[in-house]
């Protein structure tokens, strides 16, 4: 999220500093800055927000282009903030008073769990983000090593997970999420995934190599650990987003209705 906000601020400064330039020069600079940001880091939110910014740039005067871009930057910031607030609210409503199981960490995940009676957190060795979540939640959180997933599910009411990308045929989430979803599915426990509509990537197939593989374990030499894995949407009861709680297919429909520019390429 911080990356896309920094990118928007950079484009905002570029537009303001472009006074006196021609419309053609400003257009070229905006497109170049967007291209640089997209190449610097793959992130579906950044991709979608900057696609919105670049979609249908008006032809005409410098003033028209200037006002158009600044207006879209402001609307993008409003949409980002509002969608996060709504997602956190819906998530907190879903977990109120229950025992939830999760893994990983994140601001929205913490806010979505603020009303949970108890949170069983799966976390591996030192450096695993789940330990930070346990500390943040205090005495409501119980730590389970990631090899004890079945034990964490014994008294659970639901599973709630964060994700990185929603694709047309899968959900890309932190490593361990697929196993947790499969175990929950076998026990008839509902599985929910937190995702903004802007985390959907209609061209995810061409980007998946950037969300695969492994990284070196910082604590054990010559050992690598997985970063992401793909969850079958059939294992997910609902995606919690700014649109409410919807199965994967209905979530995609909501994205198409609310963010139509994502499908114009």
Q: What is the DSSP string of 17-73?
A: HTTTS-HHHHHHHHHHHHHHHHHH---HHHHHHHHHHHTTPPPS-HHHHHHHHHHHH
The DSSP code for 77 is H
- Phi, psi at 6, each rounded to 5°: -65, -40
Total residues belonging to the chain: 265
Which one, of 184, 125, 131, 136, lies nearest residue 158 by Cα? 184
Helix (H, G, I), strand (E, B) or coil at 168: coil
The DSSP code for 189 is -
CA distances from 201 to 49, 51, 54, 91, 261 (A): 11, 11, 16, 22, 12
Q: How many CB atoms lie within 10 A of CB 70?
A: 14
> pTM, whole model, 2 decimals?
0.83
CATH, domain range 86-263: 3.40.50.10470
Do 91 and 112 form a contact (C-beta atoms < 8 A)?
yes
- The span from the CA of 220 to the CA of 225, in Å, is 10
Tens-level pLDDT at each residue, the chain (265 residues): 677 888 888 888 887 776 667 878 877 888 888 888 877 777 888 888 888 887 777 777 777 887 878 888 888 888 889 999 999 999 999 999 999 999 999 999 999 999 999 999 999 877 788 999 999 999 999 999 988 999 999 999 999 999 999 999 999 998 899 999 999 999 999 999 999 999 998 776 545 544 444 444 444 443 334 567 889 999 999 999 999 999 999 999 999 998 876 654 4
- The span from the CA of 181 to the CA of 2, in Å, is 28
């Amino acid at each position: 999220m911080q990356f896309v906000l920094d990118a928007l601020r950079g484009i905002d400064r570029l537009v303001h500093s472009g006074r006196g330039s021609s419309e053609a020069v400003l257009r070229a600079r905006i497109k170049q800055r967007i291209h640089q940001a997209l190449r610097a880091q793959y992130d579906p939110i950044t991709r979608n927000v900057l696609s919105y910014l670049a979609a249908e740039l008006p032809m005409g005067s410098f003033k028209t282009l200037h006002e158009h871009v600044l207006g879209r930057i402001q609307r993008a910031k409003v949409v980002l903030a509002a969608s996060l607030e709504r997602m956190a609210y819906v998530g907190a409503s879903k977990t109120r008073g229950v025992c939830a199981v999760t893994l990983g960490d994140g601001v929205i995940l913490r806010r979505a769990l603020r009303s949970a009676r108890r949170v069983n957190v799966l976390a591996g060795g030192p450096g695993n983000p789940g330990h930070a979540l346990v500390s943040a939640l205090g005495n409501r959180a119980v730590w389970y090593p990631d090899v004890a997933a079945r034990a964490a599910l014994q008294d659970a009411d639901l599973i709630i997970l964060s994700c990185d990308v929603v694709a047309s045929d899968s959900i890309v989430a932190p490593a361990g999420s697929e196993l947790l979803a499969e175990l929950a599915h076998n026990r008839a426990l509902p599985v929910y995934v937190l995702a903004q509509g802007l985390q959907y990537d209609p061209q995810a197939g061409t980007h998946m190599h950037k969300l695969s593989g492994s990284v070196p374990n910082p604590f054990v030499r010559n050992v690598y650990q997985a970063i992401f894995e793909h969850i079958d949407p059939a294992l997910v009861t609902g995606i919690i987003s700014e649109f409410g709680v919807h199965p994967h297919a209905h979530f995609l429909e909501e994205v198409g209705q609310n963010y139509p520019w994502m499908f114009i390429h």
